Amino acid sequence: MKPSAFRRVLQAAAFTRKEAIDILRQPRLLLTLVLGPFLIMAVFGLGYRDTPERMRTVFVAPSGSPLLDEAEKYADDTGPYVEFVGVSNDAAEVRRRLVEGEIDLIVSFPDDPLSTVLDGEQASITVIHTRLDPIERTAIDFASRLAIDEINGQILAEIVEGGQGLARPAAEAFSIANTAISTLDESLSTQDQASAEAALAELEESSARLALAVRTLDSLSERLVGEGAIATEGVVAAVADVRAAVVDLRANLSAQDIDERLSRISDLLATVNRDYDRLTSADPGVLVQPFRSVVELAVDDVGKVTDWYAPAAVVLMLQQFGVAFGALTFVRERQLGIIDIFRVAPINAAETLLGKYVAYLLIGCGVGAILTVLVVTALDVPVAAGIGEIAVVMALTLFASIGLGFVISLASANDAQAVQYTLLLLLASLFFSGFFLSVGQLEGVARYVSWLLPVTYGMQLLRDVMLRGASPDSLLIGGLAAYGLAMFVLALLGTRRRLAVI
């Protein structure tokens, strides 16, 4: 007689009840599942500092090197990265202190940087350390590049300041030009042709000097604004107008509107004088580093380190919950001899598997909900998405993880093997899921391994949904659902094989 559909539902519900009771009879386990991850995240958030550790640094250079006199200033300019310890010219002794842990960094200046630079090569400032952590090594390399840029900027600022000092005498050209205009106006009024010619020659010479001096301003303007853009209110155009007006004046010295022409030249000189003075009096440090970076996060209310890691920890915990319980279920039943009873009972593999799935999904979703509430209320992690989207991501992650656990359980000969596989999966999840390092930094086989883990999909989805408020990525949702279905099919085939009467 073929069993009714209602009977199948009751049989599946019986397995759901059995698995739920097995878990609920272990309150300490449930408490650990909920409070354990939360307490770990809370301690991590309270103990994490977002300022880098200052590294004890000694600067090394040959005796008499002027760079040693500037070492402490260079250390101060690097900000929070360096703690100035001192200077030395004994490289061997300083290296011994580094190896023994008395200091953290050695900054070694070159012996003769001037000769190297004059030969057309960059002089090397060597940073020596003993840190083995790849992240720390990357941070030291990045901070070293910033420090070198700062030193180069200071040297360039001194060069620009010297150039400004050489350019300031051009102010005499403005004075000569204005005096020449007054003299020319007076000479033309008295019809003193010789004096007018001399004044006009002085005006031509001074305008030529101004045109040469203002080229620096034109170059800076193009660098800051773009080719053809004038950043200082038309000073270059004004100089060109002065030159053209002086040429025109030479050709029409006896014109009736000579007063208007001289007045226009005087106004143009005033414009050039004002903007040229702005260049020569500007802070040289600003001129050589005209831009500064301002980084803004387009996502509101996300700033703490726990904001980033909390969703990842929740998803990782859900995966391990599903995998661990799924991995032990069939192994435990086989060791207790329950499988033999199932083989002769009027049940099939689908009912058994569905009952277990429902039990673990219900309890896992409850654990995920409590964890989410704790991290949101106690750790102040923002939630930018609706509850439904978060629930879908968690449910699919659990569905895929439980199926993976069932497959592990069916492939394990005993509980020791199942536990070992579960721990290996946890280790792989920490390295390949994007928990610490972005999946985008992985390539080759490592990239494929990352997408064999349910947590990779769930972590990226929950971070996007919970923190950014983005809609769930359809490709990731589809991939996670397909992963879960594939595990369900494999688990179903394995369960049928286990329940087959031998």
Per-residue pLDDT for the chain (502 aa), expressed as one digit of tens each? 455 555 566 656 655 766 666 666 666 766 666 667 667 767 766 666 666 677 888 888 887 776 666 666 766 666 667 778 888 888 888 888 888 888 888 888 887 776 777 677 777 888 888 877 676 777 778 777 777 776 666 666 665 555 555 455 556 677 777 787 788 777 777 777 778 778 778 877 777 777 766 665 555 545 444 454 444 446 667 777 777 777 777 777 666 677 777 777 777 777 777 766 665 565 655 555 555 555 566 677 777 778 888 888 899 989 988 888 888 777 776 665 565 555 545 566 777 788 888 888 888 888 889 888 888 888 888 888 888 899 999 999 999 999 999 898 888 878 788 888 888 888 888 888 888 878 888 888 888 889 999 999 999 999 988 888 888 889 999 999 999 999 999 988 888 877 664 4
Q: Which residues contact 320 (CB under 8 A, 6 or more apart)?
A: 401, 422, 425, 426, 429
- Which of 149, 165, 181 is the endpoint of a domain? 165
Q: Is the dihedral of CA 391, 30, 454, 302 positive or negative?
A: positive
Provide the CB-side half-sphere exposure for 18 (13 A, CA). 16
Decide if 477 is inside a domain: yes
Q: Hey, is 384 helix, strand or coil?
A: coil
CA-CA distance, 373 to 484, in Å (whole number)?
Answer: 26
Residues 279, 380, single domain; the answer is no
Judge if 142 and 88 occupy the same domain: yes
CATH number of residue 134's parent domain: 3.40.1710.10
Picking from 332, 305, 309, 326, the residue whose alpha carbon sits closest to that of residue 425 is 326
Asked, for residue 2, whether it belongs to a domain, the answer is no
What pLDDT is stored for residue 72 in this prediction? 67
Tell whether 85 and 102 lie within a shared domain.
yes
| Residue 226 maps to a domain | yes
Number of domains in the chain: 3
257 and 188, same domain (yes or no) = yes
- For residues 157 and 251, membership in a common domain is answered with no
Does residue 387 belong to any structural domain of this protein? yes
**Is residue 59 located within the same domain as residue 157?**
yes
Q: Please report which residue ranges of 110-234 form alpha helices under DSSP H.
A: 113-118, 134-167, 171-190, 193-213, 215-225
4 lies in some domain: no
CB of 178 within 8 A of CB of 266?
Answer: yes
Both 362 and 243 in a single domain?
no
Instruction: Please give the residue range of the domain that contains residue 429.
Output: 11-47+301-499
In this structure, are 382 and 489 located in the same domain? yes
| Whether residues 267 and 410 fall in one domain | no
* Residue 153 resides in a domain: yes
b/e 224-252 (16+ beta carbons within 10 angstroms → b): eeeeeebbbeebbebbebbbebbeebeee
Q: How many CB atoms lie within 10 A of CB 400?
A: 28
Distance separating alpha carbons of residues 281 and 291, to the nearest angstrom = 18
Q: Which residues pair with 58 in a beta bridge?
A: 86, 106
Residues 447 and 308 in one domain: yes
Query: Left if phi > 0, otherwise alpha if psi is -120 to 50, otherwise beta: which for 105?
Result: beta
Query: Where among 95, 130, 165 does a domain terminate?
Result: 165
Asked if 56 and 105 count as a contact pair (C-beta separation under 8 A), the reply is yes
In a domain, 294, yes or no: no
Specify whether 140 is located in the same domain as 284: no
* Domain shared by 279 and 374, yes or no: no
Considering the domain boundaries, does residue 293 fall inside one? no
Cα–Cα distances in angstroms (integers) from residue 252 to residues 164, 373, 426, in the given order: 37, 87, 91
Helix (H, G, I), strand (E, B) or coil at 88: strand
Q: Render 446-476 in DSSP notation, one character per residue.
A: HHHHHTTSHHHHHHHHHHIIIII-PPPPHHH
Q: How many residues does the chain have?
A: 502
β-strands 105-108, 55-60 pairing: parallel
* Spatial contact of 217 and 235, defined as CB atoms under 8 Å apart: yes
Domain end marker among 165, 195, 216: 165
Q: In what order do the strands lie in the sheet with 82-88?
A: 82-88, 55-60, 105-108, 126-129
What's the rounded Cα separation, in Å, for the pair 463 and 104? 36
